[in-house]
Structures are given as C-alpha cells and as structure tokens.
C-alpha cells in the first residue's frame, strides 16, 4: 500500500489569503498546504480520495496520468470542487467510478447538475459511474484490496472514513461512533483529521486527535486537514513518536 498526500490543508489552504502569521510566512515546504486529498495505490490500482478544489494543481504536481476510481468523503467545497478536472482522464480512459454516501450524492447531483442533467452547449462533461457506499459495507478493488466505508460525524454531517486493508483515512470529523471506532482498530496507518491546536466546533483539535490515536493504537498515525495554527518545525515536539503531521507530497508505504 502506498499513500501520497496530495493536499493536507484546511478549507482555506495554507498560507491563508491575506494572513501574515508565522506559518503563512514560513519558507518550510511542509507549511505549504493545498486543500486536503490523498492518492491510494495498491496492486496496480490508483484510487483518489476527494477531488479537492486544488485537484488540477495536485494532479500535475504528482504526475498523475490515470485513476481507477474516486472516493468522496463528503460534499464540502474544499473536498469536491475539483470534480470537473477528472475530464482529462475520461478523454483517455472513459468513464470513471465515483463512490459516495447517499447524503453526498444528493449534494453532488445538485451542485454539479450540469453533469447529470446536461443542457448546456459546448464543453466536455465529466463521465461518472455513480456508486453509493454504506457504512460498514465493504467492497473490493481487485483480489487484494478491500475498502470499508465507516461513518464519522463532522458537526452534524455524516462523513465517510475509508479503510483500505490495514490503512485508514478519516478526515473532517468531530466524533467517531463506537461501531466505527471498532472498524478503525488494528491499523498499520491511520490518517486523521486535526484542524488546529485549540478546540474547534466541527473538527478534531490536536488533543482530541491524540486521544483517539491513543485509543485506536495504530502503528503509525498522520494528522491532516491542518490550518495555519500548526507549524511543522515548531509543533512536531507536541507529538508522540508514532504520530506525525502530514505534509503535501509526503509518501507513506507499508
């Protein structure tokens, strides 16, 4: 299994527009964060989690030339507004499977109505094959990649965390129901939401994220969806040995 962090930033990205804080002015490449997204590769398959608003830039930077599927966690702007940029893959390889829960599909069909009810003249359309995922109902890609959707809660919004064999990706959440906690145990790698140091109403703060990691006990954990309150060089000292802040273009293998 191989994970490539295409983006690790919160909805505004880092640096944030108009901000002159220490992190936003940092010259450390780890403090430059596009909006959050990750590429999962296993057994020759390439699966994207979320078409972030920065997806075109991320795909070019990563040299991405093919995708087998897209998984959607939820339908907030920073996570899905790059959906139109799957078109170059469609031009070369045809329609692509896109996976989301029922709540996200309702919003995707509303926001991207032009895809599902094409009425305009001119311009290509993304070619999607819609698939609806359900909590704790695994599906397979190939013979050796099992993907299990697990529901987590982002404020009041149900969001999909995805488990890929013994890797898991859980972003944009405040709480994890007990059944989903059980589905996130015995992991080699856990990627977990952590928007900032101080508490947040709909995201995990650092203390909350570390408490969940201590309970779930993954071998390794990486914190993502970081805002400009978190600065790598300064704040890594706050982390236990098996936890790291993720950064754009970080590759994790296992």
Q: What is the pLDDT of residues 60-97, one digit of tens each?
A: 999 999 999 999 999 999 999 999 999 999 999 999 99
pLDDT above 90: residue 123 = no
Q: What is the mean pLDDT of residues 202-211?
A: 98
Q: What is the pLDDT of residues 227-236, one digit of tens each?
A: 999 999 999 9
Greater confidence (125 vs 48) lies with 48
Tokens 């397979």: give the residue: 140
Does domain 2-135+146-253 bear CATH number 3.60.15.10? yes
Q: What is the mean pLDDT of residues 97-105?
A: 98
In the chain, % of residues over pLDDT 70: 98
Q: What is the pLDDT of residues 173-205, one digit of tens each?
A: 999 999 999 999 999 999 999 999 999 999 999
pLDDT above 80: residue 119 = no
Instruction: Note the pLDDT of residue 143.
Output: 82
pLDDT above 70: residue 120 = no
For 140, half-sphere exposure in the C-beta direction (CA atoms, 13 angstrom radius) is 5
Instruction: Note the pLDDT of residue 11.
Output: 97
Tokens 């989690």: give the residue: 49
Q: What is the mean pLDDT of residues 18-24?
A: 97
Selection from 86, 93, 80 nearest residue 126 by Cα: 86
Across the chain, mean pLDDT equals: 96
User: What's the predicted TM-score (pTM) here?
Assistant: 0.96
In the chain, % of residues over pLDDT 90: 94
Helix/strand/coil (H/E/C) assignment for every residue in the chain = CEEEEEECECCCCECCCCCCCCCCCCCCHHHCECECEEEEEECCEEEEECCCCCHHHHHHHHCCCCCCEEECCCCCHHHHCCHHHHHHHHHHHCCEEEEECHHHHHHHHHHCHHHHCCCCCCCCCCCEEEEECCCCCCEEECCCEEEEEEEEEECCEEEEEEEECCEEEECCCCECCHHHHHHCCCCCEEEEECCECCCCCCCCEHHHHHHHHHHHCCCEEEEECECCCCCHHHHHHHCCCCEEECCCCCEEEC
Of 30-39, 107-116, 159-168, the poorest mean pLDDT is in 107-116
Q: How far is CA 224 from the centre of its chain?
A: 8
**Domain coordinates in residue numbering, the chain:** 2-135+146-253
pLDDT above 70: residue 149 = yes
Can you name the residues that pair with 131 across neighbouring β-strands? 99
Give residue 210's pLDDT band: very low, low, confident or very high (50, 70, 90).
very high
The sign of the CA dihedral 111, 113, 116, 122 is negative
Instruction: Note the pLDDT of residue 142.
Output: 83
Given a contact cutoff of 8 angstroms between Cβ atoms, the answer to whether 190 and 168 are in contact is yes
Instruction: Note the pLDDT of residue 177.
Output: 97
Give residue 238's pLDDT band: very low, low, confident or very high (50, 70, 90).
very high
């Amino acid at each position: 299994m191989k994970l490539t962090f295409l983006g690790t930033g919160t909805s505004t990205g880092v640096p944030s527009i108009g901000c002159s804080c220490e992190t936003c002015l940092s010259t450390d490449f780890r403090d430059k964060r596009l909006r959050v997204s990750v590429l999962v590769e296993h057994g020759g398959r390439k699966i994207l989690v979320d078409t972030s608003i920065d997806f075109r830039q991320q795909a070019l930077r990563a040299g991405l030339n093919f995708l087998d599927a897209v998984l959607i966690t939820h339908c907030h702007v920073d996570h899905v507004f790059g959906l139109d940029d799957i078109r170059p893959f469609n031009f070369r390889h045809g329609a692509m499977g896109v996976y989301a829960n029922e709540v996200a599909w309702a919003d995707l069909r509303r926001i991207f109505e032009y895809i599902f009810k094409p009425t305009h003249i001119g311009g290509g359309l993304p070619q999607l094959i819609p698939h609806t995922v359900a909590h704790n109902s695994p599906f397979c890609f190939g013979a050796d990649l099992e993907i299990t959707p697990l529901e987590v809660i982002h404020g009041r919004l149900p969001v999909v965390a995805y488990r890929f064999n013994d890797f898991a990706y859980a972003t944009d959440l405040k709480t994890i129901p007990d059944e989903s906690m059980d589905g996130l145990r015995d992991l080699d790698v856990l990627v977990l939401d952590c928007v900032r140091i101080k508490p947040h109403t709909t995201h995990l703060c650092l203390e909350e994220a570390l408490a969940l990691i201590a309970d779930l006990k993954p071998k390794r954990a990486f914190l993502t969806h970081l805002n400009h309150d978190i600065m790598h060089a300064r704040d890594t000292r706050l982390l236990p040995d098996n936890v790291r802040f993720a950064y754009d273009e970080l590759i994790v293998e296992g």
